[in-house]
A and B are shown apart, each in its own frame.
Chain A
Amino acid sequence: MKQYDVCIIGSGAGGAPVAYELSRAGFSVVVLEKGPHISEKDFTKDEIAVSRRSLYTPSLKDEQHVIETYNEDGSIERVTGHESGWNFWNGSMVGGSSNLMSGYFHRMKPNDFRLRSTYGEIKDANVVDWPISYETMEPYYDRVEKVVGVSGRVVKHSFQEGRSSKDFPYPPTWEQPISHWFDAACSKLGFVSIPTPRAILPYDALGRSGCSYSNYCGSYGCATGAKSHARSALLDKTVETGNCKIISNAFVYELEADTLVKEAHYYDKKGNSHSIKATLFVVAAQAIESSRLLLNSKSKTFPKGLANNSGQVGKNLIFSAGGSGQGRIEMKDLDAEKRSGLLTRGAFVNRSLQDWYDYKRDGKQIKGGTIDFLYQHANPTSRALGEVYDDEGNLVWGKALQSKLQHAFNASRVFTFEVFNDWIPTDRCFVSVDESVKDKWGVPVGKIRLHGHPHDLEVGNFLASKAEEVLREMGAVDVYSNVSDAPPPNLVAGGCRFGEDPKTSVLRPDCRAHEVENLYVTDASFMPTGGSVPYTWTIYANAFRVADIIRVSLKTLVSLRDKERGDIVQNFS
């Protein structure tokens, strides 16, 4: 069996930068990806396959999670994914769910790295400072802008984080006329409108084609390669080095270890088991699945699961708190020029607000968050289904429904927003495995215990009220928002938090397991708190940071190994 230098489990934003950097440095790398290899030519804007039938995620009958929630009396409600339809998968394919992201890229702010020391303790929560600072991460955010590709425009505002490059390497993508109406409304309200950085190339660059403005971006694979997802931005180039092999349809079910990880065992598409040997292992299977893999990898040395003698694996699972809202812009309220502007298809809104990234309440400094603005998704079936209830919550049909649909599609446009704030980590939100429920391979599934801290709702509601103000100032009607503690499955982190103390964290500050010398975790699992922004940019940046660290330690390990082998050969001859 071939011995690789590095075996990476998962090919998304957490795994791909490590593969990219180490294969370019000359190390032999193998990437095991659970999903198939799908490329630009396979991606179409097929609402039925992608959105209505979830083509890119496993069938819940074959692979599911068990989900537990708290009742008001503190008892636990338990459902399976299959019976409830609750889906925590985000896209299984080479490049992971980054293929399907909208690419709203915000850096975390310096205060996000020291949440506890800046804002103090929160009752019943496990808020901690990160063991590294923004300054440590900054060069890697910068590297992502340049290597992976981020477009945008820097503007001055109170929470603009420090940057080593003056501006983004690519200008913003083509923007909607409504973006300028948004700017005007914000200016009137005294808010600072920020052009949202996007992981989308506005024109051909980095060996990829620019955006075709297809009007269907989030949830869909990119047919041009403009979206800066892990496959087109990194893995395709990684394979070109000749040092990296990507094995698709490879579901890793166990990491075999004594004191070190020796082999990764995986099932192929047909259910046959295979093994990979490597000097060093990197887990990046997305937060819930990474914890599940470690917990399912039991051995004499690690009877509670790999790297889990501390009992910390799976703990402090977090999501992005917040919610969403919308308002309707009516054609009849607009002049001819604006009406035509409202019908513009394909261009991006690209606007955010961070005026309340932190704010004062009752004299106390509170951590706030980010609001991103966008048009309602173009998916027509979903839009139509959004019209089938009247204001009283009764179903409508017949002529009444037809006229509602005509109004929704032809006489108005829905402008929406998404709120991102911290999901405070607690003892009540975590991942474990459920031995009684197995997936199609017979492997125990991940069990997700959910709990949103009341503090998250308070902050989310405050931010949503600010977003609603902007929509009303823009002339939108039927403005409303919905902030809840329902977790967005695509914004998940934690479970293997990093830190200095092996009693309260799974990983060291360099994302190497405290308990296992040759095991790293580089997806969002490492995050002890998530910041008030979508995670992908930080996942990419951290994976580049860890790749730099691994490169140095691997050089030593490989030269020691080669010396050892040389000595053996010498002694033998």
Chain B
Amino acid sequence: MLKRRDFLFQSTLLLSVPFIAASAREYASKSVKIYTEPYQTMGFLYADLFPSDSSFSLQNINAIGYLYGVMHDVRVDLETKEFIINGATWLNEEAADKYKKSYIRLSSGERQQLLKDISMTRWGDSWLYTMMGYLFEAMLSDPVYGGNLDANGWRWFEHEPGFPRPTKVLI
């Protein structure tokens, strides 16, 4: 299975995407239905990649709402959007192969092991890197994009933004 996915990833013979890129004045959504796929899987993935504790919380950066914005961003190419969706599908296929359950039904230990396994494949490494990129965007971009609520991400890392800051979404 992994070899097939690497082949698909390499060949970019990817599955169709349910989203159509559109102009996004409000970049992120504040009300993504996180129990719909792929956002449900993504929500668990993000929590595994960047667990919340007393100082970090993914809700405080609207990570999934921001990802919804990425999927509608005309400047993100269709291939990347397809890859994001397909990665979530493949992750669930891997979970089903190994544990006969979907990713979100796995125990925390099983999810961690699965992430380790896929990170050793070409597609898995690339997909996790891509997902981390958009997670960091949600965390560290200007709050005008709808992530990084109240500049929480910047505060976590004591990051000082550049000035003038954007007052509107330019993409």
Contacts and interface: CB of A to CB of B under 8 A. Distances in A.
Interface of A: 43-49, 52-55, 59-61, 83, 212, 214-216, 220, 223, 345, 378, 380-381, 384-385, 388, 394-395, 397-399, 401-402, 405-406, 409-410
Interface residues of B, number: 41
B40 interface: no
A253 B2 CA distance: 47
24 contacts: A44-B164, A44-B170, A45-B161, A45-B164, A47-B140, A48-B137, A49-B169, A52-B141, A53-B75, A59-B77, A214-B164, A216-B162, A380-B136, A380-B154, A384-B136, A385-B132, A388-B132, A394-B119, A395-B119, A395-B125, A397-B49, A397-B50, A397-B128, A410-B158
A399 B52 CA distance: 10
B119 A384 contact: no
Contact of A405 (B119, B157, B169): B157
Contacts of B50: 397-398, 401-402
Given A401-B49, A405-B157, A406-B157, A44 B165 contact: yes
B146 to A, nearest CB: 11
Contacts of A214: 162-164
Contact of A381 (B12, B137, B166): B137
B136 A381 contact: yes
Contacts of A60: 77
B129 interface: yes
Given A55-B170, A397-B49, A397-B132, 6 more contacts: A44-B164, A47-B142, A54-B75, A381-B133, A381-B140, A395-B129
Nearest to A47: B141
Given A49-B166, A410-B157, A410-B158, A59 B75 contact: yes
A216 B161 CA distance: 9
A518 B27 CA distance: 49
Contacts, number: 105
Contacts of A406: 157
What are the 6 A-B residue pairs with the smallest beta carbon separation, nearest first?
A: A45-B162, A216-B162, A409-B157, A380-B140, A53-B75, A46-B166
Contacts of B112: 398
Given A44-B165, A385-B132, A53 B157 contact: no
A224 to B, nearest CB: 10
B170 A380 contact: no
B167 A44 contact: yes
A406 B139 CA distance: 13
Given A394-B119, A397-B132, A399-B51, A223 B142 contact: no
Nearest to B135: A384
Contacts of B163: 45, 212, 214, 223
Nearest to B160: A345
Interface in B100-150: 112, 115, 119, 125, 128-129, 132-133, 136-137, 139-142, 144-145
A45 B51 contact: no
Contacts of B167: 44
Nearest to A43: B164
A398 B140 contact: no
A83 B142 CA distance: 30
A409 B160 CA distance: 11
A59 B66 CA distance: 22
A215 B157 contact: no
Interface centre among A52, A212, A345, A406 (most CB of B within 10 A): A52
Nearest to B56: A402
A147 to B, nearest CB: 27
A384 B138 CA distance: 12
A395 B164 contact: no
Contacts of B133: 381, 385
Contacts of A61: 77
B171 A48 contact: yes
Contacts of A53: 73, 75-76, 171
B145 A378 contact: no
Contacts of A402: 50-51, 56
A89 to B, nearest CB: 14
Contacts of A409: 157-159
B97 interface: no
Given A395-B128, A397-B49, A397-B128, A48 B160 contact: no
Contacts of B115: 397
Contacts of A223: 163-164
Contacts of A401: 49-50
A401 B156 CA distance: 14
B26 interface: no
B53 to A, nearest CB: 8
Interface centre among A59, A398, A399 (most CB of B within 10 A): A398
